[in-house]
Amino acid sequence: MSISYPTPSMVQGQIYQNFIGGAWRSSRSGETFVSTNPAHISEVIGLYQKSTAADLEDAIAAAVGAQPAWAAIPAPERGEILLRAALLLDQQKEELAALMTREMGKILKETRGDVQTAIDVAKYVAGEGRRAEGETIPSGLLNKFCMTMRQPIGIVGIITPWNFPLAIPAWKTFPALLAGNAVILKPASDTPLLSLKLAEVLQEAGLPAGVLNVITGPGGSLGDALVSHEKVNMISLTGSTEVGRHVAEICGRDLRRCALELGGKNAVIVLEDADLDLAAESVTWGAFGTTGQRCTATSRVIVQKSVQNAFTDRLVAAAEKLRVGDGLSPDVDMGPLVNTGRVKAVQEYAEIGKQEGATLVLGGFPLTGGDYREGAFYEPTIFTDVAPSMRIAKEEVFGPLLSIIPVASYEEAIQVANSTEYGLSTAIFTESTRVTFRAMRDIVSGLVYFNAPTTGAEVHLPFGGMKASGNGHRELGKKAVEEFSETKTVFVSYPERK
Ligand code: NAD
């Protein structure tokens, strides 16, 4: 397949700078890179700094200089800044959502949700500043008092993916800041704009200079430099399992704390007693929302054979109705992929599915010509009669391509659901209470949904995956601030004077 896409006009774009030490600065490299609208590839969203290790040194120096004074501010006051940021984000919600749709393609309903998540996390984490941060624990000895206290880790490097351009930077940065750390944030190169907007908002909310630094640039060189910098005490990365393994190796070598949120191959199990209309509606949203580019996107449906045809018919009918186009249009249900490279990658998987002998029941091709001629569009795609051993059943596609795998029983469904290397999110549709509780126990993934799609995090609940979907850390919820702080155990003796 060879599709010709328009070339972006480099002269149109606004130039955005790095945010270092509270000031907007150009890269010492003197170079920029371009980010374009995936629905209209000739439209440049911005030119961003192609930062190098020299820029990173500036950001580290700013962070190291600012962190002690920031940590000395009482945690409730640090929280007040986040609360102000929540209000500012709320005021700018529509503008930020529209920018995000133009930057990475997902529809306005979803980009509004992305901004709302950042607002909700800011409010939730702000409150954590007023909650007790340690415990008192009875000593086993006479005249001794024991407690734990939480302290900042120091300098935290945050590396984020492009699919949630504001929510993920926010849900890492806010708790890291509340815990008293200084942050270097490196966003994905397809979506740097919303991270720079986040810095703008936090500065306006009163965050002192140097506490948050945002630098843009290539994951390979700049990301590596950040991950291996001796002054960085922790790395928090959300991205692919491949990059996660690489980052973990460096952090493991250097004994640097490292929290990883990685890929998924999420399954929905549809049993024969399920409400099939509800299951089809949920899978449509779970598989094709954000054009299938969510870590929790539904990528497999494991269906009991007795209802395979009835379920597939409903699903195909629902997916056929999806309107694909520019996410800014209120009539559109599914936007483009993030870039044309992703179109090629999804198309390769569609070809692999055909070669492996799966039955294509919907889509299987890029959308080109007419309204689609300018963008990275792909048809919602469904394969059925997929075997668990096929690559389309095992590998993360990260696009609108769904595999339906027929099974005989609940036991087989669980075995297949747990058979990939990932363990992020699984959903099951059943009306049986007995099966519900068995599945709660049997499914190996960090998130489990009953009678709902595999997507839909809530900011006050922990979020994260098992197996190759992460390394055991959890984001959001009560643990969020704890993740970004050290525990110190304190023993105070007060023996009688002799
Ligand atoms: P990616 O792994 O390509 O990139 C993620 C980030 O890492 C980017 O900022 C990138 O520049 C950076 N990076 C790349 N190479 C690096 C290196 N050598 N050292 C340091 N940093 C490096 O992922 P992506 O394409 O941006 O995002 C899609 C992936 O993210 C999917 O696998 C998806 O499942 C995963 N994801 C996971 C979650 C989750 O919470 N589990 C959420 C969203 C996305």
Mean pLDDT confidence for 360-381: 96
Mean pLDDT confidence for 349-358: 98
Mean pLDDT confidence for 463-480: 95
- From the CA of 263, how far away is ligand 1's center (Å)? 8
Convert the pLDDT of each residue in 388-408 to its tens digit: 999 999 999 999 999 999 999
pLDDT at 462: 96
Is the pTM higher than 0.75? The answer reads yes
Known active-site residue 295: yes
Mean pLDDT confidence for 54-66: 98
What mean pLDDT, rounded, does the chain reach? 96
DSSP letter for 277, please: H
* Three-class HEC string of 37-52: ECCEEEEEEEEEECCC
Asked if 20 and 213 touch (Cβ cutoff 8 Å), the reply is yes
Angle made by CA atoms 201, 203, 205, in degrees to the nearest 5? 70
Report the nearest atom of ligand 1 relative to the CA of 250. Answer: 19
CA dist., res. 25 & res. 37, Å (int):
24
- Residue matched to tokens 């696009």: 399
Mean pLDDT confidence for 344-372: 97
pLDDT at 10 over 70: no
Per-residue confidence band for 13, with pLDDT thresholds at 50, 70 and 90 = confident
pLDDT at 479: 85
Convert the pLDDT of each residue in 117-168 to its tens digit: 999 999 999 999 998 678 999 999 999 999 999 999 999 999 999 999 999 9
CA dist., res. 495 & res. 97, Å (int):
61
116, amino acid identity: Q
Mean pLDDT confidence for 3-31: 83
Nearest to 170 by CA among 208, 117, 103: 117
pLDDT at 7: 61
Asked if 251 and 471 touch (Cβ cutoff 8 Å), the reply is no
- From the CA of 238, how far away is ligand 1's center (Å)? 5
pLDDT at 133: 75
Report the nearest atom of ligand 1 relative to the CA of 162. Answer: 26
Report the nearest atom of ligand 1 relative to the CA of 244. Answer: 2
CA dist., res. 107 & res. 333, Å (int):
7
Please compute Rg for the chain using Cα positions: 24
Ligand 1 pocket residues where CB is under 6 Å: 159-164, 186, 188-189, 219-220, 223-224, 227, 238-240, 243, 246-247, 261-264, 295, 396, 398, 424, 465, 469
pLDDT at 11 over 60: no
